[in-house]
């Protein structure tokens, strides 16, 4: 086997999943994570069939399926609860999987447990610094504590502010979109729905934009509540200060309180301030390459293509990255094949990411003031959800041979 071992920078969802995919291909890896071992991850994520198919391939889907909220459609309604449109986010009859909304920490803990079961080493509080040298055969890199290491393959799964990315493309900074989400967790029992059953997730459209409600635990007893809010960029310290100011954030969420229907007002009244969170929408400019000159340094997930969350595809695309990358890594027999496989891999992944960005822009537009469903084209999810990663990577391998 051409690649026998890899080093992964970043021990989040993508880094852990990649290690498990590589282990399935009999490629050993070590993960280095800058955060401490007990760090928790807040909020819930939406997993669609394209990602669930990949997670099923490493055995984690069955471990989380019953621990989240399974659903099919996101419904768009006006302030009088009339249906404007619907977006299919999963459908077991069509794609093999319903969509799954699950707490991020639940998935993280399961991936950690599976990594431990597989004997995958994760070292915490270890910060990547820079690449020292790279050849056709290996890469040597350094940590901020001065230690250096040499590995066959260095993969940056270290997020939107990736340090590894700086070696592939210097001075690439995340771009703020001018929009942030303000979210919270609301007890479902405190929300006065106008009729039963009232399907969620739902995007309710009023004069000031959209208010989102989405169940995020198996029994549906807790709802995500959220709005999009236009704002200016801030320094890291200023974003942190805003997050701590729950009174101001609650006021921002209630800005147009009187214009909302009774259901939304009941949700706003029931917000536990301590659950309020913010998500500033940043993206990474399109990169010409996700690999270094010799292909010994790579970036995946948000490090390569951070996508705002309006369509819920950010982490889903990350799981597509790691699944597809593991297949070509196992298939390569020499350096020439490896470089060509990487080119085919990025072409495939870039095309899908571009489509997802277009979808994200459309979904973001639907949450802004003034959208009323008129003229909206029906979104067909088949291209996104029916993907067969194994078959697509076999095409890449077959094209090179």
Q: pLDDT 10s digit of each residue in the chain, 401 long? A: 799 999 999 999 999 999 999 999 999 999 999 999 877 777 899 999 999 999 999 999 999 999 999 999 999 999 999 999 999 999 999 999 999 999 999 999 999 999 999 999 999 999 999 999 999 999 999 999 999 999 999 999 999 999 999 999 988 989 999 999 999 999 999 999 999 999 999 999 998 899 999 999 898 899 999 999 999 999 999 999 999 999 999 999 999 999 999 999 999 999 999 999 999 999 999 999 999 999 999 999 999 998 888 788 999 999 999 999 999 999 999 999 999 999 999 999 999 999 999 888 888 888 888 887 776 778 888 999 999 999 999 999 998 76
pLDDT attached to residue 70? 96
pLDDT attached to residue 311? 80
- The second-level CATH assignment, the architecture, of 176-282 is 2-Layer Sandwich (3.30)
Taking residue 106's Cβ as centre, other Cβ atoms within 10 Å add up to: 17
Ranges of CATH 3.50.50.60 domains, the chain:
5-41+116-173+284-400
Angle between helices 389-400 and 314-331 (to 10 degrees): 40
pLDDT attached to residue 401? 63
pLDDT attached to residue 298? 98
Whole-prediction pTM: 0.94
Partnered with residue 185 across adjacent β-strands are 224
pLDDT attached to residue 366? 85
Ranges of CATH 3.30.9.30 domains, the chain:
176-282
> 3-state SS of the chain?
CCCCEEEEECCCHHHHHHHHHHHHCCCEEEEEECCCCCCCCCCEEEECHHHHHHHHHCCCHHHHHHHCEEECEEEEEECCCCEEEEEECCEHHHHCECEEEEEHHHHHHHHHHHHHHCCCEEEECCCEEEEEEECCCCEEEEECCCCEEEECCEEECCCCCCCCHHHHCCCCCCEEEEEEEEEEEEEHHHCCCCCCCCCCCEEEEECCEEEEEEECCCCCCEEEEEEEEECCCCCHHHHHHHHHCHHHHHHHHCCCHHHCCHHHHHHHHCCCHHHCEEEEEEECCCCCCCECCCCCEEECCHHHHCCCHHHCCHHHHHHHHHHHHHHHHHHCCCHHHHHHHHHHHHHHHHHHHHHHHHHHHHHHHHCCCCCCCCCCCCCCCHHHHCCCHHHHHHHHHHHHC
Q: What is the CATH number of domain 5-41+116-173+284-400?
A: 3.50.50.60
């Amino acid at each position: 086997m051409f690649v026998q071992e890899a080093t992964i920078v970043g021990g989040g969802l993508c880094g852990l999943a990649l290690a498990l995919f590589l282990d399935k291909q009999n490629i050993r890896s070590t993960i280095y994570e800058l955060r401490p071992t007990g760090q928790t991850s807040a909020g819930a994520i939406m997993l669609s069939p394209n990602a669930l198919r990949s997670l099923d391939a490493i055995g984690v889907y069955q471990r989380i399926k019953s621990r989240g909220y399974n659903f099919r459609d996101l419904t768009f309604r006006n302030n009088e609860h009339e249906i404007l449109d619907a977006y299919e986010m999963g459908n077991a009859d069509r794609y093999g999987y319903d969509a799954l909304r699950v707490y991020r920490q639940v998935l993280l803990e399961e991936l950690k447990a599976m990594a431990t079961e597989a004997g995958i080493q994760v070292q915490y509080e270890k910060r990547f610094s820079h690449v020292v040298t790279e050849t056709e055969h290996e890469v040597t890199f350094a940590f901020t504590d001065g230690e250096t290491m040499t590995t066959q393959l260095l993969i940056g799964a270290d997020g939107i502010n990736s340090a590894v990315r700086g070696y592939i493309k210097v001075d690439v900074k995340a771009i703020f979109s001018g929009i942030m989400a303000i979210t919270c967790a609301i007890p479902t029992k405190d929300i006065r729905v106008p009729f039963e059953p009232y399907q969620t997730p739902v995007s309710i459209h009023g004069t000031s934009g959209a208010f989102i409600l989405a169940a995020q635990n198996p029994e549906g007893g807790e709802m995500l509540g959220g709005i999009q809010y236009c704002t200016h960029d801030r320094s890291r310290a200023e974003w942190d200060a805003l997050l701590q100011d729950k009174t101001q954030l609650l006021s921002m969420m209630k800005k147009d309180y009187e214009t909302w229907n009774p259901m939304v007002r009941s949700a706003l009244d029931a917000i536990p301030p301590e659950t309020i969170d913010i998500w500033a929408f940043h993206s990474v400019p399109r990169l010409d390459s996700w690999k270094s000159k010799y292909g010994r340094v790579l970036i995946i997930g948000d490090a390569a293509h951070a996508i705002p969350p309006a369509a819920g595809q950010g982490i889903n695309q990350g799981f597509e990255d790691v699944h597809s990358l593991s297949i070509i890594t196992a298939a390569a027999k020499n350096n020439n094949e490896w470089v060509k496989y990487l080119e085919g891999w990025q072409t495939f992944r870039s095309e899908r990411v571009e489509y997802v960005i277009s979808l994200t822009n459309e979904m973001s537009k639907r949450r802004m003031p003034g959208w009323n469903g008129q003229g909206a084209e029906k979104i067909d999810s088949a291209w996104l959800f029916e993907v067969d990663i194994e078959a697509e990577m076999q095409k890449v391998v077959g094209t090179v041979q």
